[in-house]
Amino acid sequence: MMSRDEGHTHLEIDVDGRVVATADVEQHDQPGVVRAALNVEPGHQPTGSRTRLVDAVLDLPEVHDQQRLEATLPIGDTEILERLRERCDDVQTRPAGATCLVDADLPEANRPSQPPAAAADDHGGGASPST
């Protein structure tokens, strides 16, 4: 399940109708930065549900055009952290109580590239569209 408000997205990962993990994603005041709070319900969760949560966050359109991710996750959650390391560049972590703070570069491959005409204009070449 996913819900969106202006500047905020809430994701839920469910297994057999039961919510097992959630994430809240919001734009940071600083351009190019997105924040995500990843949470997992207490108790044993099916293998892969944490990986699905990370993938759902990183695959959001509003995350694709950003350069940095600032995330919080439960300390010791190796499945989430490993998936972030697989999908992001230069992942830095630090503990903060029962939380792990993560700063990561989002891969450029996830960002849309410039259209060829715009790229040509940036270099002084290219033609203007005719009307």
The confidence score (pLDDT) of residue 18 equals 92
* Integer Cα distance of 33 and 27 in angstroms: 7
Give the strands of the sheet with 89-96, arranged side by side. Answer: 2-5, 8-15, 18-27, 33-40, 68-74, 99-105, 89-96
Q: What is the CA radius of gyration of the chain?
A: 18
The highest-level CATH class for domain 2-122 is alpha beta
Percent pLDDT > 70 in the chain is: 79
pTM surpassing 0.85?
no
pLDDT band at residue 28 under the 50/70/90 scheme: confident
Write out pLDDT tens, residues 59-77: 999 898 899 999 999 999 9
Would you kindly state where each structural domain of the chain is located, as residue ranges?
A: 2-122
